[in-house]
Amino acid sequence: MTERLAAAAATLLGLDLDEGRRVAAELTHLAAAFPLPARLGLGAAGGGLDVAARLLAGGPLARLDQPTREAVCTTLAHRPAGRALVEALKVPLLLAAAAAGPNGGPGGGPGGGPGVRSTVGDLAAPDPELSCVAVDDWPHRSRTDAVVIGSGAGGAMAARELARAGLSVVVLEEGRRFTAAEFRNRRPADRFVDLYRDGGATMALGNPPVLLPAGRGVGGTTLVNSGTCYRTPDRVLRRWRDVHGLALADPEEFGPLLDEVERTLRVAAQPVDVLGRNGELALAGAAALGWRAAPLRRNAPGCAGSCQCAVGCPRNAKNGVHLNALPQACAAGAVVVTGARVDRVVTARGRAVGVRFGRRLLAAPIVVLAAGAIETPRLLFRSGLGRHPGTGRGLAVHPTVSVAGRFAEPVVAWRGVLQSVGVEELHDDGVLIEATAGPPGLVSFVPPGIGRALRAELANADRLATVGAMIADQPGGRVGTRLVRYRLARSDADRLRLAIMAIGRLLFAAGAQEVLTGLPHRPYARDVIELRAAVATADIRQLHMAAFHPTGSAAMGADPQQAPVGPDGRLRGVDGVWVDGVWVADASALPSCPEVNPQLSIMAVALAVGRAAAAR
């Protein structure tokens, strides 16, 4: 498989075969963290290219010269099935090429790029004290007042409230604890596959498929999110209150919860001195258009613009919950068990009894699920608690599209804040634009081209500004025991077209010479007229789609027939009967897409659920 991958790498990235072998070896190393289907898919895709080369050019890919190899792949890319094959290899190869270093990849970036270690200055804060115990050191039989499954945004807040109420609390975390030293001394690409579930290769099947990266470690996805902190919009809260029956979502009730979360995270507007050129161009474009825009509010008071939020801040400047809510929970007596994957929640006669993880049983009358919008419903299914018809359904993902603009002068988008500026002109229409950058190979924007054309794009990546947009989507997804499926609604496809058009206008207004649309049939636009034509004829199914905010798969609500979780966070079983002692306090409980980065919304809901669980 490695030789086939080497030929594929050399072909798609415009390398010689020796460089292709280096990239293939790097990808093999990184792919060890991928789930088995993804690893098999890489091998199959490499084999598919080889078969195509034999059919179209009379020999295996590795024995053809570079122009012939590129011609084979270009021919494939003009056919729907062939395009999917090429793109399935291109994205992971870009990550591997960046990790392989200057010969195999573009390099560049903070401290030299994703293939090298970070040099970003002194720590903004030391690693805090946490009461962490490795699962192998935890007794096989134990008891506590409350167990919280997951240590991310929801789990940390719920654990803190339970512990502060005087209960003994154990937090079970499948991942491990990471330190700032690791973030400083390990390559970003290695951190990427270590910090994300499935090495960052979690997918929702659909047309198009959607990449769903989710953090795994002490602190959950707050370890790797952008640090952006939007308060839940009042219109969303009113919908949750009036349509879904959540009394706690009344803006007058929810506001103080958000205030408390902001104090915990130390949220403030991002200072402009480290914003970076990528964010400055977004502000300039918005100003030229007369659009509402500003630096984002973030939980990163010590940010120095290292642009590595997505692979763990090397300065501890981003205040994930591993730096605040979890230490506060531990100070109140909570303990975090790492490496503990929970197999099932144990119940008897409709009440929580505890949890099993491996060969261990932890008895507890209160069990709080906070494993995230994908893993929480799966745990309910494994536990025989997922028979409510709403469990696993109603998944919204907040899909993202990314567009780039080419400028005459260097932008060096990976110097500055990773997600720096919010443009809210179309937010009421369900489109939230955010200037989001990162080093080549570690960003959601995938440059166009194959072979030498792609190589040229990577060589000039320092002149690209990248801007993304998230759309408020319909709940078109479903979490199953093994697979996640997502169907993009037609109205959401229209929102994606609106988003691409808006970002392109923003970049042209900022002075871009051309826009890289992300649309395979017309990857470049030299002006707004060309962009409009490209968007009008776009097949959204061909987009590279990613989503970072899955929600709603175990939604809260007053209607027992519709919502598997009650308005206070208690779990309902089949026919709406309560499962006493089982609570849900994570993104899965949000009734619908929150229309903004959801960190504050999740933490505020978890704060309320934790208090309600402690009170009972």
pLDDT tens for each residue of 371-383: 999 999 999 999 9
- Is the pLDDT score of 367 beyond 50? yes
pLDDT reported for residue 1: 59
More reliable by pLDDT, 307 or 77: 307
423 DSSP β-pair partners: 293, 433
pLDDT reported for residue 102: 58
For 287-359, strand residue ranges (E) read 293-295, 297-298, 335-338, 344-348, 351-357
Task: Given the residues 388, 427, 544, 549, select the one marked as catalytic.
Answer: 549
d(CA 357, CA 148): 13
pLDDT tens for each residue of 420-430: 999 999 999 99
Structure-block tokens of residue 14: 């415009």
pLDDT tens for each residue of 512-566: 999 999 999 999 999 999 999 999 999 998 888 899 999 999 999 999 999 999 9
Dihedral of the CA atoms 515, 520, 522, 523 (nearest 10)? 20
List the helix and strand counts (H, then E) for the chain. 17, 25
Mean pLDDT of 445-463: 92
Mean pLDDT of 409-419: 95
Q: Which domains does the chain have, with CATH numbers?
A: 1-98 (no CATH), 139-177+217-227+230-266+320-392+553-615 (3.50.50.60), 199-216+267-310+397-548 (3.30.410)
Q: pTM for the full model?
A: 0.94
């659920």: which residue's tokens?
609
More reliable by pLDDT, 366 or 61: 366
Mean pLDDT of 442-447: 81
pLDDT reported for residue 440: 65
549 is catalytic: yes
Residue type present at position 216: R
Angle at 24 between CA 548 and CA 84, to 5 degrees: 55
Structure-block tokens of residue 597: 């980065």
Residue of 506, 504, 502 whose CA lies nearest to 523: 504
Q: Cis ω on the peptide bond leading into residue 208 (within 30° of 0)? A: yes
Mean pLDDT of 584-603: 98
pLDDT tens for each residue of 12-42: 999 999 999 999 999 999 999 998 888 888 8
Could you tell me what percent of the chain has a pLDDT over 90? 82
Tell me, what DSSP letter sits at residue 440?
T
Dihedral of the CA atoms 571, 595, 496, 466 (nearest 10)? -120
SS in 3 state form for 539-574?
Answer: CHHHCCEEECCCECCCCECCCCCCCCECCCCEEECH
What is the overall mean pLDDT for the chain?
93
pLDDT reported for residue 50: 87
In sequence order, the 6+-apart residues with CB closer than 8 A to the CB of 525 are 504, 514, 515, 517, 531, 534
**C-alpha distances out from residue 50 to 9, 90, 448, Å:** 12, 15, 22
